[in-house]
């Protein structure tokens, strides 16, 4: 009768929770040592796309998972449910504690409250009690299955692939690498990801090349996308994608890496009740790949230029200027390439303008396998000389375009007109120190001797005698 109450209670929980789309249900509080205990995930009116590994529980041993699905139409309203059940077997009698845990289902994280399970001695089947015999039997026994389920391994049609959009690049030229798991349309082996975060962390340590700048596309949700390779259809699950920019002419080497997947064995003779698949693991390996890197063509700035396809957007607050008054000027480089690696142009020193160090800002977009953006440089300029000036003589950006295989230069097209007094005259006036200093350069700095100046010599001697006489008089008088 205890089992009748448990079944009724479980049915009540199910009915009360029908409005919820996802349920995680723990097994009963009390079982015998020869009974199974379960954790059940149920998704209502949706597809069970993904779920975490079931927890390890001390005192219970995992026996594998099973799944079921149900569709109902009541008064014209269709409802469906899909369940996955993990079965645990008790390892001893006594009390087992199931700790609270977090469980992710369909990218939603649920907090599950733990419980204590009392495990009693093995239960003996009393054949004299028809009701006990009825409830103790496996439901599949009613349909004639009494032998243990036999599981078979179905050959999968899937692979782990590392692909790149280019096989050969110049130094500094970007290419995109994508790590994907591909499942063919005609694949019959059920599989799913597990511990992907931890596995991906270990994979990237091996995969990322040391001689490249990386722009990660930061894939957060792994969703299937149908693609065609030749005459065969696949569902592609992108695990990792990044653009790489080689820093030198050394080849970029991607080693073979492995990804462990959960691969289920399926029941040889599936039944409506019972377990129809068994959890197993298989590691898939990608092929190693090498990207050839070429030197840039000869050029005086070959070791310093940016590589990409760039354009110029410039803005100046005004073109009619006054000497000594500042003006703001924006030199914005935009396009596709390694935006983070763009260095500011070297503006030459000159007597016509004072150019202050620019404020720098960059905006990088990573999408559809491409890296693009803008490098903004904001200058303050103070004109010092009147006249008409072409800013293209001062602001230039040289880069190599891998599409045309040529060097190109972005030059400012702004022409400014400066009015006012020359700052050179103002500088001279501000540095005038007076007539005394003006006569220094004209004065003779030769050392002259007093040997021929007899008059001056007599005057000095008389002065010395008077000083000595005065000193002696004062001393004598004091005594």
- pLDDT of 15: 33
Exposure pattern of 64-98 as b/e (b: 16+ CB <10 Å)?
A: bbbebeeeeeeeeeeeebbbbbbbbebeeeeebeb
What is the widest separation between alpha-carbon atoms in the chain? 156
Over the stretch 264-308, which tens digit does the pLDDT of each residue have?
888 877 665 556 788 889 999 999 999 999 999 999 999 999 999
178 and 200, same structural domain?
Answer: yes
- Residue 285 placed within a domain: yes
Contact between 244 and 209 under an 8 Å Cβ cutoff? The reply is yes
- Residue 142 placed within a domain: no
Least confident of 33-37, 180-184, 468-472: 468-472
345 and 243, same structural domain?
Answer: no
133 and 15, same structural domain?
Answer: yes
| Percentage, residues of the chain above pLDDT 70 | 79
Whats the size of the chain, residue-wise?
479
Contact between 154 and 266 under an 8 Å Cβ cutoff? The reply is yes
- Residue 193 placed within a domain: yes
Rounded CA-CA distance 264/190 in Å is: 6
Closest CA to 370 of 403, 338, 413: 338
340 and 282, same structural domain?
Answer: no
- Does position 5 have pLDDT exceeding 60, yes or no? no
Q: Tell me what the pLDDT averaged over the chain comes to.
A: 82
343 and 261, same structural domain?
Answer: no
* Domain boundary pick from 401, 425, 449: 425
The pair of three-digit structure tokens given for residue 330, joined into one six-digit string: 């924006």
- pLDDT of 151: 81
- Residue 148 placed within a domain: no
- pLDDT of 338: 95
Provide mean pLDDT across the span 77-101.
83
Residue 320: domain span: 306-425
- pLDDT of 274: 59
Over the stretch 158-188, which tens digit does the pLDDT of each residue have?
999 999 999 999 999 999 999 999 999 999 8
- pLDDT of 456: 74
| Percentage, residues of the chain above pLDDT 90 | 51
- Residue 216 placed within a domain: yes
Least confident of 129-138, 388-397, 400-409: 129-138
Question: In the chain, how many domains are there?
Answer: 3
CATH assignment of the domain containing 119: 2.60.40
Rounded CA-CA distance 405/400 in Å is: 7
128 and 11, same structural domain?
Answer: yes
Closest CA to 250 of 215, 295, 216, 299: 295
| Highest mean pLDDT pick, 244-253, 427-436, 459-468 | 244-253
- pLDDT of 292: 97
258 and 179, same structural domain?
Answer: yes
Q: Higher pLDDT residue, 310 or 138?
A: 310
* Domain boundary pick from 137, 168, 194: 137
318 and 282, same structural domain?
Answer: no
Rounded CA-CA distance 23/167 in Å is: 48
Rounded CA-CA distance 76/395 in Å is: 73
- Does position 131 have pLDDT exceeding 60, yes or no? no
- Does position 11 have pLDDT exceeding 50, yes or no? no
288 and 317, same structural domain?
Answer: no
163 and 37, same structural domain?
Answer: no
Contact between 213 and 307 under an 8 Å Cβ cutoff? The reply is no
253 and 365, same structural domain?
Answer: no
Least confident of 30-39, 147-156, 213-222: 147-156
- Does position 4 have pLDDT exceeding 80, yes or no? no
126 and 32, same structural domain?
Answer: yes
Helices (H) and strands (E) counted in the chain, each on its own, are 6, 31
Burial-class residue 105 by CB neighbours within 10 Å (0-12, 13-18, 19+): buried
- Residue 133 placed within a domain: yes
Provide mean pLDDT across the span 347-376.
93
- Residue 299 placed within a domain: no
Closest CA to 217 of 261, 174, 254, 170: 174
Burial-class residue 403 by CB neighbours within 10 Å (0-12, 13-18, 19+): exposed
- Does position 72 have pLDDT exceeding 80, yes or no? no
The pair of three-digit structure tokens given for residue 12, joined into one six-digit string: 């009540």
The pair of three-digit structure tokens given for residue 276, joined into one six-digit string: 């129809």
The pair of three-digit structure tokens given for residue 117, joined into one six-digit string: 């399970």
- Residue 478 placed within a domain: no
């Amino acid at each position: 009768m205890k089992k009748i109450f448990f079944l009724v209670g479980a049915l009540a929980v199910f009915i009360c929770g029908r409005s919820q789309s996802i349920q995680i249900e723990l097994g009963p509080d009390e079982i015998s040592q020869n009974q199974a205990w379960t954790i059940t995930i149920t998704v209502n009116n949706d597809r069970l796309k993904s779920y975490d590994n079931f927890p390890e529980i001390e005192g219970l041993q995992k026996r594998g998972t099973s799944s079921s699905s149900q569709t109902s139409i009541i008064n014209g309203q269709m409802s469906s449910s899909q369940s996955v059940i993990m079965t645990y077997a008790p390892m001893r009698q006594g009390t087992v504690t199931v700790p609270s845990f977090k469980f992710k289902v369909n990218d939603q994280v649920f907090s599950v409250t733990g419980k204590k399970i009392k495990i009693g001695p093995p239960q003996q089947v009393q054949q004299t009690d028809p009701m006990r015999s009825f409830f103790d039997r496996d439901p599949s026994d009613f349909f004639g299955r009494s032998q243990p389920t036999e599981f078979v391994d179905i050959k999968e049609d899937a692979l782990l692939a590392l692909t790149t959009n280019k096989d050969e690049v110049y130094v500094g030229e970007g290419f995109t690498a994508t790590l994907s798991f591909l499942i063919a349309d005609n694949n019959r082996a059920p599989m799913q990801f597990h511990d992907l975060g931890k596995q991906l962390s270990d994979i990237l340590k091996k995969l990322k090349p040391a001689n490249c700048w990386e722009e990660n596309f930061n894939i957060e949700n792994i969703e299937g996308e149908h693609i065609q390779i030749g005459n065969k259809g696949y569902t592609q699950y992108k695990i990792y994608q990044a653009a790489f920019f080689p820093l030198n002419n050394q080849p970029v080497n991607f080693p073979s890496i492995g990804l462990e997947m959960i691969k289920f064995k399926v029941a040889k003779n599936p039944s409506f009740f019972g377990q129809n698949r068994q959890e197993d693991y298989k590691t898939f390996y990608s092929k190693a790949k090498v990207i050839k890197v070429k030197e840039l063509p000869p050029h005086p700035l070959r070791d310093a230029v940016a590589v990409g396809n760039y354009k110029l957007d410039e803005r100046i607050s005004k073109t009619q200027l006054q000497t000594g008054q500042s003006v703001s000027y924006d030199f914005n480089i935009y396009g596709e390439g390694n935006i983070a690696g763009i260095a500011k142009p070297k503006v030459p020193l000159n007597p016509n303008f004072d150019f202050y160090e620019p404020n720098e800002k960059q905006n990088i977009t990573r999408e559809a396998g491409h890296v693009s953006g803008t490098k903004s440089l904001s200058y303050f300029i103070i004109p010092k000389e009147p006249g008409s000036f072409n800013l293209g003589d001062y602001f230039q950006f040289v880069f190599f375009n891998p599409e045309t295989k040529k060097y190109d230069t972005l030059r400012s097209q702004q022409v400014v007109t400066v009015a006012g007094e020359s700052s050179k005259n103002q500088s001279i006036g501000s540095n005038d120190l007076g007539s005394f200093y003006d006569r220094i350069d004209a004065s003779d700095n030769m050392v002259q001797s007093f040997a021929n100046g007899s008059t001056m010599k007599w005057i000095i001697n008389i002065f010395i005698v008077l000083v000595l006489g005065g000193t002696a008089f004062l001393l004598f008088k004091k005594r």
